[in-house]
Homo-oligomer: A and B are copies of this chain.
Amino acid sequence: MTSFAPAPPLDTLAPTLDPTRVRLLDLLDQRQPGRSLPGALYTDPELHDLDLRLLWHRQWFFAGTVAEVPEPGDYLTVDLGTVSVLVLRDDDEQVRAFRNVCRHRGARLVSEPRGSVGNIVCGYHRWTYATDGTLRHAPQLVPTAEGGPDPACLSLRTVAVRVVSGLVFCCLAAEPSADVDAVGEAVAPYLDAHALDRTKVAAQVDLVEQGNWKLTMENNRECYHCDGHPELLRTFFPTWGLREDQVPPRLRASHERYLAAEEDLRVACEARGLARDAVEDLVDRPLGFRVQREALDGAGESFSPDGTRLVGRLLGDLDEPRLGRATLHAQPNLWLHALADHVVTFAVLPLGPDRTLVRTTWLVDADAREGADYDVEALTGVWRATNSQDAAFVELTQAGVADPAYEPGPYSEGERQVDAFVSWYVARMREEASR
């Protein structure tokens, strides 16, 4: 027990191309525009490991919302494969993020998805860190003056964090890109009116889908399968993603209602200065995104069977319940709907090559009272049903793409954004694998 020099980092990657990377690049080259990915990219454990190392460990990803960490000491955890990230509001009310690993013998610091602490205390040997990550107390450790380690070198390892309109993004890279700031500027005109910083969590549900994370994202990028979502179709126009001339006859009536609702929405947005038109930059940037405000069917207010509002109090300073849904999609792992009465966010988190966590969070005004202003079952009903249906679709697809008979098939008109997501994935991986 003589030396306390810091250990070298163990997760550095050799710069030379290993055989798995060669295989990855070969598969990326095989991908044809307008078609899904070669099967191994959805199933192979070694390639999944490259997804984590080259993409997830280097890009900004969505971790949660400020509503999950409203007070100092409140935390949430996000796991990406074997990596665990601890997001926490410090004593100065700043949102910070740390690697969720004790600097002593490596014990996981906190295991719950959400909670609250005074200090961060390791459950094993009571090493105690302040909410800014500095080591406050380590029992029995040899003092620095006597040759022991310097506590200043034993702070928790930090993770880059950025809050954008109440959305918390994290990045594990040592030098994260500035991409998140530009995306933040683009989405603020759509989301800020929903005032996520004045919301609270009404419900959160973790669902494990038996499929690769990319299948979960692809599934979300089209309504081509929306016949499988009868609850959602009460308020969701099924012509989503189609150009005017692509709307099939059977969806024509629905589309007419959509056009009328869109016109009403345009008027309401202009009167209130709310951004509405689609802004899309899906393929070319690391944090590919698309944001837009769209009308809802029925009463047009919320995700209820008849489209009327689900929460008595509106968000922020909104004065009108019929504002459709402001939708943000961001790659690799977020989509959300911001309505006048609530926001629902979806975080996609890879657990393994064929297992993915979908964490759904419903946010309502911080002063809304459960029972009086909203009912959790009613609030969450549509998306609990829809998520469950999507999990079944993803599982069927995972089984099929793992079959050697699978060949990437052609996308239809309504799958343009799936194509964009897959093209983004190919571009990101090709670039990162060459670094």
User: A-side interface residues toward B, CB under 8 Å?
Assistant: 1-11, 30, 32-36, 38-40, 57, 82-84, 99-109, 111, 123-126, 138-142, 148-149, 154, 157, 218, 224-225, 227-228, 242, 246, 248, 392-393, 396-397, 399-414, 416, 419
Q: Check B405 against A108 for contact (C-beta < 8 Å).
A: no
Contact A410 B149 (CB under 8 A): yes
Q: Which residues in B have their C-beta under 8 angstroms from that of A406?
A: 10, 101, 106
Contact B139 A248, beta carbon cutoff 8 Å: yes
Assess whether A412 is in contact with B34, with CB atoms less than 8 Å apart.
no
A37 CB to closest chain B CB, in angstroms? Answer: 10
Per a CB cutoff under 8 Å, which of B33, B107, B410 touches A393? B107
* Copies of this chain, tallied across the complex: 3
Chain B, Cβ-Cβ closest to A395: B108
Given contacts A11-B405, A105-B218, 18 further A-B pairs with CB under 8 A are A1-B416, A3-B32, A5-B32, A10-B39, A39-B106, A84-B399, A99-B405, A100-B403, A101-B405, A106-B400, A106-B401, A106-B406, A106-B408, A106-B409, A107-B393, A140-B246, A141-B412, A142-B412
Q: Report whether B34 and A407 are in contact in the complex, using a CB–CB cutoff of 8 Å.
A: no
| Cross-chain contact A397 with B34 (CB below 8 angstroms) | no
Flag if B125 contacts A224 (CB, 8 Å): yes
A57 to B404, CA, bound (A): 10
Q: Which of B1, B8, B396 contacts A33 (CB 8 A)?
A: B1
A140 touches B3 (CB 8 A): no
| Chain B residue at minimum C-beta to C-beta distance from A219 | B124
